[in-house]
Amino acid sequence: MRIAVLLGCVALGACGGGETQPQAVAGAKSIECALGEGSDFGEDCLVERVQGEQGPEFVVRHPDGKFRRLRIADDRSGMIAVDGADDAINAFVGQPQVLEVAVGADRYRFPADIDAQP
């Protein structure tokens, strides 16, 4: 019985929202994301700016430990997926405008000025 209660507490602790993910660096920014087919947006992902081979890249970290690497297109029209088989599809949406990037079944909302942030 105690084990069942302990496992329940651990499971509830894993569901906590807004906590810094252990794999993200200090100072990572929270962004809205919708992970998987038909999911709703929530501030569940963290983004870090890193230096890639072709310039600044953004590592988007999912709550489950998965991540995506994106960079700003040379013509500044949106983001490009750095790794993986899926292309990034970009659209500016909302007021104030945000850049919505879809890669596979996952969607991310970046501030329109994401590259201006240190």
Amino acid 34 reads A
In this structure, the number of other CB atoms found within 10 A of the CB of residue 101 comes to 24
pLDDT at 19: 52
Q: Is residue 1 part of a domain?
A: no
pLDDT tens digits for 45-98?
A: 999 999 888 888 999 999 999 999 999 998 888 999 998 889 999 999 999 899
Residue 72 in any domain: the answer is yes
Domain presence at residue 2: no
Does 47 fall in a domain? yes
Residue 35, domain member (yes or no): yes
Domain range for 33: 19-116
Tell me what pLDDT residue 112 has: 77
Contact between residue 19 and residue 12 where contact means Cβ atoms under 8 Å apart: no
Rounded to whole angstroms, the Cα distance separating 1 from 7 reads: 10
Q: How confident is the model at residue 22 (pLDDT cuts 50, 70, 90)?
A: low
Total domains in the chain come to: 1
Q: Is residue 13 part of a domain?
A: no
Q: Print the SS3 string covering the chain.
A: CHHHHHHHHHHHHHCCCCCCCCCCCCCCEEEEEECCCCCCCEEEEEEEEEEECCEEEEEEECCCCCEEEEEECCCCCCEEECCCCCCEEEEEECCCCEEEEEECCEEEEEECCHHHCC
Q: Kindly state whether residue 4 falls inside one of the protein's structural domains.
A: no
C-alpha atoms less than 13 angstroms from C-alpha of 31 in its C-beta half-sphere = 28
CB of 54 closer than 8 Å to CB of 70: no
On whether residue 5 sits in a domain, the answer given is: no
Rounded distance between C-alpha atoms, residue 103 and residue 35, angstroms:
10
